[in-house]
Amino acid sequence: MDISRRASFCIFAALWMANAWPQETNSPDLVTRGAYLAKAADCAGCHTAPPVPGKPRPQPFAGGLPMGSPFGTIWSSNITPDSQHGIGRYSYEDFARVLREGVAPGGRHLYPAMPYPSFSKVSDDDMRALYAYFMHGVEPVAQAAPETKLPFPFNQRWVLTFWNLAFAPKEHFEADPKREAQWNRGAYLVQSLGHCGACHTPRGPAYNERGYTQSSGAYLTGGTNDHWYAPNLTGIAGAGLDRISADDIAAFLKHGHGAGLATFGSMVQVVEDSTQYLDAADLNAIASYLKSLPPGGSGGAYAPHSTAAQQTVAALRTGDNQRPGAGLFQSACARCHKSDGVGEGLKYPRLAGNPAVLSEQPDSLIRLVLQGGRPPSTQEGPEPKKMPAFADKLTDTEIARVLTFVRSAWGNNATPVTTRDVRRMRAAVSPDSGN
């Protein structure tokens, strides 16, 4: 046997062993790494039922989270290794295919509420670690998840074959050799496991994300899901991350607070279940990737030293008739957010120059004022303070006025909020609408 043949034999033998040796899929290191990656992808966030007061905590990964889509409610599956109700019988190939292509064993197509168009970019190494974790690190739960029953024609899962051909990229992650390793790591995490675009990228008419990498102009320029608007994460001035430093972005993802902003809405769960567990190197990588995104999309502006900014102070003092929201702000909001809109440290977020406040679409602001909220509770973050609900305290017109004021005060300059916007949101999120 000459040297090169011997070398190729050794490589062949090593590959064979890696595939065929069962211990390999269950080495403790691989399982631990898989657990970390499952946090980065927030598998538990979508695959665990919501807690019901007075009942035992739902089992992690046993499925049963209802997800609103424009076509009806989609229920997440049991992905514990139970062989009857979960994925215990999945081979590695089955697992990789369902994550990357959204096709379960037997050819059943998944709805893209499962972010397989992003998971198509997960590397083979990471996929193996995830598989090891789900087979050997997760407790099996023998419990069926509720069945998804969408109306015709959306109950015809085979139709998704065409959707996938048209919209799901099925791409591998391409590292950019001209960029540093940190940037590439951030790009990988954001585009694949983190599936940040599932909320932050606008969707097209077929519910498709309009782009899966920075090479598409719409990527991460803001999108609405389940009546929350996830803001623009590009470097656009005003409504983007232009004024927020990389360190503050990393802190926001770790503790739910950074640069005076507090996480709210559907981002709270992302921080609680997922990003707070990422290590500093990965958080800094994500922040540096986001900071590199060129400005895209649109939104409001911020000019703190303008005459308009000075007029705010006068309006608050005199209760200006032209700006009826000023008086409402003083009585209902200034206690926490302060008359100058700068909030209070880690307790109450600033509203002046806050990019989420300047968002192109005000949906999240309206929903927050109606329902109230609280930032995430994290291992290392401050104790969360509550924002009260105003649904029963303010009328639709009053909420529209106070938010229009907030979006045009202290140098903020974003489009007004109308009574109709508020009425529509109130109807959409009222308890009997199913949300």
Residues flagged as binding site for heme c: 43, 46-47, 196, 199-200, 333, 336-337
Cα 324 from chain centroid?
A: 35
Residue 34 binds ligand HEC, judged by CB under 6 A? no
Residue 132 binds ligand HEC, judged by CB under 6 A? no
Peptide linkage before 153 cis (omega within 30 of 0):
yes
Structure tokens at 48: 């665990």
Q: Which residue has the tokens 């989420």?
A: 356
- Beta carbon nearer to ligand HEC, 195 or 309: 195
Distance between CA atoms of residues 404 and 148, nearest Å: 39
- Beta carbon nearer to ligand HEC, 111 or 188: 111
What residues between 351 and 370 interact with ligand HEC by CB under 6 A?
351, 354-357, 364-365, 368-369
For the residues of 351-397, what is the DSSP string, one character each?
-TT-TTTT-SS-HHHHHHHHH-B-PPP-SSSPPPPPBPP-TTTS-HH
Distance between CA atoms of residues 339 and 326, nearest Å: 10
Query: In whole angstroms, how close is the CB of 338 to ligand HEC at the nearest point?
Result: 10
Residue 228 binds ligand HEC, judged by CB under 6 A? yes
What residues between 52 and 111 interact with ligand HEC by CB under 6 A?
67, 74, 76-77, 79, 87, 98-99, 104, 110-111
User: Interhelix angle for 181-191 vs 280-291, to 10°?
Assistant: 90
Query: In whole angstroms, how close is the CB of 252 to ligand HEC at the nearest point?
Result: 5
Q: Which residue has the tokens 């959306």?
A: 154
What residues between 252 and 311 interact with ligand HEC by CB under 6 A?
252, 261-267, 270, 275, 286
Strands 108-109 and 412-413: unpaired
Tell me the sheet residues that pair with 214. none
Residue 36 binds ligand HEC, judged by CB under 6 A? no
**Binding-site residue total for ligand HEC (CB under 6 A)?**
74
Give, as one character, the DSSP assignment of residue 344. B
Contact with ligand HEC (CB under 6 A) among 349, 353, 362, 381:
349
Query: In whole angstroms, how close is the CB of 385 to ligand HEC at the nearest point?
Result: 4
Contact with ligand HEC (CB under 6 A) among 30, 31, 36, 46:
46
What residues between 187 and 206 interact with ligand HEC by CB under 6 A?
190, 194-196, 198-200
